[in-house]
Structure 1
Amino acid sequence: MPKRVLIGTVVSDKNDKTVVVKVERRFTHPLFHKVVRRTKNYHAHDENNEFKVGEKVWIEECAPMSKQKCWVVLPREQAAS
């Protein structure tokens, strides 16, 4: 099964080696046919603490590292390609 890759914005970098990433998704409401925005926060592993609040990042699904953390931030070089 392929790993999911999401794009989001870092909203917190206070924890060591962890960033909280806000991911927004848009969809059409089934009844009202309007575009609805939903956001969700993901805890992602950031080994070198290189990402700061406000940066756009790519996160990839991985094996669970802790109770909440099962995503890893892709390095800048890998995310650009």
Structure 2
Amino acid sequence: MPKRILQGVVVSDKQDKTVVVKVERRFTHPLLKKTVRRTKNYHAHDEANKYKVGDQVRIQEGRPMSKLKTWVVVEDAQPV
């Protein structure tokens, strides 16, 4: 099974080797037919403490490294 890759913005870098990434998804509401935005925060592994708050990054699923951290930062994402 391929590993999922998501794109989001770093919202916290206070922990050592960990960043919190906010990922937003958009979908059409089935009844109201309006576009709805939902956000979720993911804890991701950042080995070099390279990324700071506000950076656009891509994260990929990985092995569990702690209770909350199961994602790894793969690369910088180009702003769209």
Whole-Å Cα distance in 1 between the matches of residues 49 and 55 of structure 2? 13
- Aligned match of 2:45: 45
- Aligned match of 1:30: 30
- One-letter code aligned to 2:70: C
The CA RMSD measured in Å over matched residues stands at: 1.2
Between structures 1 and 2, the one with greater helix share: 1
Whole-Å Cα distance in 2 between the matches of residues 46 and 63 of structure 1? 14
Q: TM-score, normalised by structure 2?
A: 0.94
Unaligned runs of 5+ in 1: none
- Aligned match of 2:61: 61
Whole-Å Cα distance in 2 between the matches of residues 44 and 75 of structure 1? 12
Identity across matched positions, percent = 72
- Post-superposition CA distance 1:10-63 (Å, at most 9, x none): 000000000000000000001000000000000000000000000000000001
State whether structure 2 residue 50 is matched by structure 1 residue 72.
no
